[in-house]
Structure 1
Amino acid sequence: MRVALVAEQFLPHVNGVTHSVLRVAEQLRARGHRVMVVAPSYEKVRGPETVPELPGVAVERIPSLPLAGYPEVRVAGCTVHRMQRLLESFAPDVVHVASPFVLGWRALQAAASMRLPSIAVYQTDVPGYAGRYGIGALEPALWAHVRTMHNSATLTLAPSTASVQQLQKHGVQRVHRWGRGVDTARFRPELRDDAWRERVGGGRRIVGYVGRLAPEKQVADLAVLDALPDARLVVVGSGPEKQALRRALPNAHFEGFRSGAALASVMASFDLFVHPGEHETFCQTIQEAMACAVPVVAVGRGGPLDLVTPSHNGWLYPPGDTARLREHVRDLLGDDAKRLAFAATAHRTVQDRTWESVCSELLGHYEHARAASPLPPTLRTRLARRVGVR
């Protein structure tokens, strides 16, 4: 197949959207499919380019501007007509749109106008973020936009049971669940770094968080863990709340942004992973922690509900109940036998959740979309001629 991947965010900015697009493109190329990525530009990256991590994949950059207050996030402007030209030049069999909102909306409009099968992948709870950024009054309008976008797609894929139900509640149709894989070769318990643990923890247990330092992640809720006896809170990541969180968590160690092997080593060095964000559509970092044999304490809402089985691989606490968060953390830190049993179960939990298996499922969704929205013969012939396909 020829697959156009349209990403609302992409390299050099690394987040959940970027990561999933990279893994999907990587898997598609490994299976012999042709891939094009359409993504926002950055100051030093404009126009077509090649990405070392994606050999054989062309990346088309669309002019963008930094999001106010969060310059790492880009907002790309593109007309439907320009997107039509890009798609026509590549002649995709399916258009895969990752976390559509601005650029992705243009791609869905272009695909619909060209009668191309399209997949809209729901990854970011933008309406839910509104309240965290003090603009809760916009939530109904944001949901209306999400509903319009996703209902224009042939299929919508949501990463968790909770996100499927959330979209259906707000009137989105043709929603299917499609989870995320985890790289168990990269994230593994053998990477535990005792020297780093001693330097950062000084012999104490380490409770770690990994993710953006932004309001929607609710990292400030971890203040209830900041002064736990015999434990050190470690925060890994960057974002607009970094300085405010340093003040709110004066005893925590801020590791900064980490990726690749460095991130895997830090995560494997945790004794416990915590995630307080209530707007996670999936929460990939939970899977990565489990792959490192690290048990999890997370808020019982959204994506974590599918990932954490209480009393087996971690604990879930009610949204907003930070006293229960503290109680669960103290429970696992104070009982080595229980924590190690949870860790072993966490590790087993994710071993079959590979990107290979997840992308095999994705290809099934592509075929479903193609069957539901077949190209007219005249359009297929015209697109094929554009790229010399017979």
Structure 2
Amino acid sequence: MSPAPLRALISTIQPSNGGVPAKTRWLVEQLAALGISSTLAWYEPWSCSPELSVPLWRVLYGRRPGRRHEPVWPQVPGEAVGAWLPELEFSHYWETRPWRRLIASADLHLVTTGNPLCAYRYLRAAVPFLAWVGTPWHGDRDARLRTFPWHRRLLDRSLNAPVLRRMERRVLRAPQGRILTISQHTAGELAQISGRNTDGVLYLPPDPALYRPQPEARVSWRLGFAGRYGDPRKQLGLLLDAVALLHRQGHPVQLELTGERQGLRLIADAVQLRGLNDAVHCHPYLSQAQLADVMQRWDLFVIPSHQEGLCISALEAMACGVPVVSTRCGGPEDFVIPDRTGQLVPHEAPALASAIAAICSQPDRRQRLSEGALAWMAANADANQARRRLHHHLRACFPALRDLDG
């Protein structure tokens, strides 16, 4: 009689679009190839499903946090889980009864997340876990915190922040935990917080069947951006300022924006204010195949961000042979190597515009950077290489997988 197939529980964030769901989907696919089924579970925000959580004013009514089954992708079940006291951010990561039942039902326990806190449930349950982390807790929310009303900022300084920092350190120091990061930059930040090195870097590899060079598709002076327009960390206004400056200088610059379901409505006023209605095109939400087709037309990919753990979309663009111009914002400093794969600039519109013009106006230089981008991807983010690295860390973390090949 053959043994029952192994089941993995992946603690993550609410699935939608962006870097974390992209990492999660890839991980699920790799586990499925090994015959391991996955269930995703996440804290469901009070604003989305208030019936699942128990705020302070309902504690005395005998309510308990609940969970809701919610399929995520074909053959991949999901569990949306509520929390006690959702007003307090640290309570979102508590090991409540629904989480205990989910943890007990799984053989392997993994995390794909922005910050390390989604692993705290496993720490409390005393089970081995493998966490793939994008950024420290503070980097994941500093810019967002500045948009909070004063009373939420006060609560954060006095209660949430001190507790969350302690929780993060405990996760990073947990003897049963194995911590992978998405960039060398993040690895350094987490090591500084915890006082110990992380266990490795795993770059998410773009799908080589989709993201590949198409030199004949490239359009000169066409810039690309992919990300959530409303995320203050992305600093989309800085990119628009740089494009406006290039436009005034007489360059035939065009900017294509992707990655946000609500599209141009979120930035229409900012585009109109800068006189860029004819220079900026905002795509509707794109499938991976559609995004690859769009990226292959770009002359440059631009990252104007304040903070990035990595920027997965930039790796996808580089796999298409597109060089990258980026602000110095963390993760991109792993792969944006000046005069080899692109250019790094300070957080100033003139500097960003100057770097863009210096590459787009020199086809030979742009070609050299394109070749450098492809070489970096082959050496660091190859799909087979990433799969072997994942297998190594799975074997190291979970005794049931010690005989895993590859």
TM-score, shorter chain, exceeding 0.5: yes
Report deviation, 1:118.
0.9
Q: Indicate which of 116, 130, 133 corresponds to 1:119.
A: 130
Give the structure 2 partner of residue 87 of structure 1: 103
The answer on whether the counterparts of 1:191 and 1:265 sit within 8 Å (CA) in structure 2 is no
Number of residues of Structure 1 aligned to a counterpart in Structure 2: 345
Shift of 1:244: 5.5
Q: Which structure is higher in RCO with an 8 Å CA cutoff and minimum separation 6?
A: 1
**Equivalent residue in structure 2 for 1:97, among 102, 111, 125:** 111
Instruction: Tell me, yes or no, if the aligned pair for 1:83 and 1:106 is still in contact at 8 Å.
Output: no
Matched, 1:177 2:200: yes
TM-score (structure 2 length as normaliser)? 0.74
Deviation at 1:207, TM superposition (A): 0.8
In the TM superposition, residue 78 of structure 1 has moved relative to its aligned partner by: 7.1
Please, which of 249, 272, 277 is the counterpart of residue 300 of structure 2? 272
- Alignment partner of 1:31 is 2:34: yes
- One of 220, 223, 226 as aligned partner of 1:210: 226
Supply the distance in 1 between the matched residues of 2:115 and 2:96 (Cα, whole angstroms): 14
Aligned to 1:224: 241
Distance 1:247 1:125 in 2: 33
Are the equivalent residues in 2 in contact too, given 1:225–1:233 (CA < 8 A)?
no
Match of 2:168 among 146, 151, 175: 146
Give the letter aligned to residue 138 of structure 2.
P
Q: Distance in 2 between matches of 1:218 and 1:332?
A: 22
Is 33-42 or 320-329 further displaced after alignment? Answer: 33-42
Q: Indicate conservation of the 8 Å contact 1:3/1:96, yes or no.
A: no
Residue 25 of structure 2 corresponds to 22
TM-score of the aligned structures, taking structure 1 as reference length: 0.77
Cα distance, 1:234–1:50 mapped onto 2, change above 3 Å: closer
Instruction: Quote the offset at 1:230 in angstroms.
Output: 0.9
- Give the unaligned 5+ runs of structure 2: 50-66, 402-406
Q: Shift in Å at residue 292 of structure 1?
A: 0.8
Structure 1 residue matching 2:223: 3-state secondary structure: strand
Query: Please, which of 378, 382, 391 is the counterpart of residue 351 of structure 1?
Result: 378
Going from structure 1 to structure 2, the CA distance change for 1:300 and 1:268 (only over 3 Å counts) comes to same
Q: Counterparts of 2:206 and 2:319 in 1: how far apart (Å)?
A: 8
Residues 226 and 259 in structure 2, CA contact (< 8 A), matched pair in contact too: yes
Structure 1 partner of 2:284: 256
SS of the residue 1:308 aligns to: coil
Q: Secondary structure at the match of 1:341?
A: helix
Equivalent-residue separation in structure 1 for 2:166 and 2:264 (angstroms): 32
Q: Which residue does 1:384 correspond to in 2?
A: none
SS at match of 2:69: coil
Aligned equivalents of 2:325 and 2:72: distance in 1? 39
| Counterpart residue identity of residue 39, structure 2 | M
Q: Does the 8 A contact of 1:40 with 1:76 survive in 2?
A: yes
Counterpart of 1:121 in 2: which secondary structure? strand
Structure 1 vs Structure 2 CA RMSD? 3.3
What do the CA deviations read for 1:208-238 (whole angstroms, capped 9, x no partner)?
1111111111111102322322111222122
Tell me how far apart the structure 1 counterparts of residues 233 and 388 of structure 2 sit (CA, whole Å): 32
Cα separation, 1, equivalents of 2:188 and 2:7:
28
Which segments of 5 or more consecutive residues in structure 1 lack a partner in the other structure? Answer: 69-74, 198-203, 375-390
1:298 to 307, 310, 326: 326
